[in-house]
Structure 1
Amino acid sequence: MTPAPPGPLNLDKLFAARLQAVRARPYLATALFALHVVEDRRVPTMAVDRYWRVYVSPGFVDRTPVEELAGVWVHEVAHLLRDHHGRGDRIARLHGLTGPAERLRMNIAADCEINDDVYGDGLLAPEDAVDPGFLGLPEGLLMEEYIRRFRLGPHTAGLAWLDCGSGADGLGREWDLGPDGAHGLSEQERDAVRFRVAQGITGRPGNTPKSWQRWAEEAFHPPQPWRELLGAAVRSAVSGSGAGEDYTYGRPSRRSAGVPGAVLPSLRRRPPRITVIVDTSGSVSDGELGSALLEITAICRAVGGRRDLVTVLSCDAAVGVAHPLCQAAGIPLVGGGGTDLRRGFARALRMRPGPDVVVVLTDGQTPWPDARPSCRTVVGLFPRSWDEDDPRGRAPNTPPAWARTVVIGSAAPAR
């Protein structure tokens, strides 16, 4: 007797599993609720695309217990948070990997990165979950490391069914709705979800697994020469002349030893004041503005979390309101016109008290001040590819020699 085809998708069961996943992993709640459900019978189990849609097979939901479905929810959203599709694309370009077989290998490697610690503590592992032990590999590695350590063969033949979707390996599927389909998240919205999750993990790590803490601190905010450069500029500003502004008896001066019976105060050095000028002209994309907010958060960490020492100016051809830093995600970046960051510099240098360091986040398509500012200047450039044969293209203006310059997100050495 032929079994009856599965009925419509059981959304009550599916959403009950998501709620259980949120209870087990509350730091992933923002990401779990950002996923939009799409019913599709062509999907083997559950799969995601890079636009944060989750494609669900009704039959899979019917035959899977709620406890296992909760773990699948967390597994699929982990692919998106960890940018496995983008990383898969980079691996494919770097090593010339093409075809579904290599993408399956990427999916397996991505699953090994996730599954070594995603289950337990309220999440039940499916019987067929692929973990590093299945391949005889150590736990705690990244997708890029796993993919170098195994090849497809007889030992992986039973994994041909595995398909977490284009969100896990970057290869489009027949069921994908694509960038113009309904309910997909824009690049800025996707970055905002990742930022909120990473912010929650770093703010209250608690018993969060080490892999998620590593993702929040390193994978999502990778160590870059840009941040090392900023730290060096901040330390230089602290130790430079004029950084001491008052005396304190909390730490007596070393000269007190030469004046018996007297306690002399020591000079108190304050942390540096930093003004961040963000280029909000029309040539800067929403994704780059999202990156600017992340860099502002890193700048705040560089001064020990003293948000009162960081001021943000948005600037295109005019300068917006100076915003003291309360929370990076809440800073309005207003603009969209032409670019003249000289106005931003002029506004920053007129502020009282003045900044010790000016940090400029820009695509470089701006005129620069003729004279060297009275404070240290660090320029973070958004990467640009310029086609000289494109009449609409415009080469970025090289920042002046008096500015320390680095390309944001680049491994290239700073100038």
Structure 2
Amino acid sequence: MSFLGWIDFDQADRDRTRRIIDLFGQEDTRDELGLGAIRDGLADLMFPGTSTIQTRLRYMLFTPWIYRMAGERNISAAGRRDIARGLEILLIDALQRGGETRGVIGSEAREKLKRLPSDVYWAGLWALGIRRFQGTRNACFEVPSSEAATLWAPGLPSHPENFLQSDEAAVRFALTQEEAGFLRDRLVQAAPDSLFTYLSRQQTAAECDWVWLHPDFASWPERLRRIATHAERFSRLMHGAALLYNLMLAEELAAIQGETVAIGKEKVEAYTKSLDAWREEIAGLALADWSLDDLWLLVEQTGHTVTTQARRFVESWRMVTEQAAGNVRIDAQARSLVRQREERLKNRKSRFINGSALRSWNGASGVAPFNYRWQPVVSDHLKDLADAG
């Protein structure tokens, strides 16, 4: 098993990456080239129990508290479910009364909220062993009220006094020391070898755009550095494929007669500049020394299925990138590889053969580099742990 060293980014690298993203406004993270299983596998290796739609870590406690409060009521399952939903809606106002303005789930939808915090965090609660009941949220309410407390991990801290019990109650995202200790313990028990657990022990939370830019990277255990280096190389290498895909769509759109021509031409220029910058940025990636076999073995440990076609696409893209010295923008083989991959995945819905699908393209599809939930989810979770008081 070869050692994978850290590839250093200077400030110029970071600024160039930000400029590339800024060209397209809000980042678009759709999985247009079928690489989601690899991305998610690496994310789960590093940060188990997290997801891209989580916001703040204390929701890992809000949900058990609310479900325990509802579950202890000696009423029907439907009644408990209604009470739990009502409490989750009350939580929105309580957090805002507490002065929270960022990360409040449902702050706009409020009573019309369809995806409740419990839904967002349900899988994570199981992954970290906070939830001991393996069933669905609705099935949880079928458990007799006398057994409601057994659905959650021993040692779960009690909710604050008067939690959601009055219209004036205020709630904050800030963790107590007891709550932070409980969450750290759950990480140690459920995922002792993960990067999430390792970083959760630190007294301060580092601020960096990408996990591989963490200031303490060099002191991490070898396995964690190895996984993070895989994540970096995969993100940076496959970002070029996403950029080329969008450039090709822009060219197709520019060739269509009509009012959309100007949009296509504008994006052609933008993606051309982006790919030229990307070519410079990956010059030091040392792709020839990157063990993709090791990457596949690691991802398989997470239960994510990486298809043979996905592996071949990544392997072929690396080969083409090396052969073209990064200048994939004008490389016929690189363009063919991207087009064939998208057409295989989407069939008749491919933007290359479906005019309606092409015209619905918004100018940036799956263009954001993979960050594996680091920003803002995991970095916020770690800050919440470090700031506990």
Task: Give the TM-score band, short-chain normalised.
Answer: under 0.3
**Greater strand content:** 1
**Greater helix content:** 2
Structure with higher Rg: it is 1
TM-score using structure 1 length: 0.24
Structure of higher RCO (CA pairs closer than 8 Å, 6+ residues apart): 2
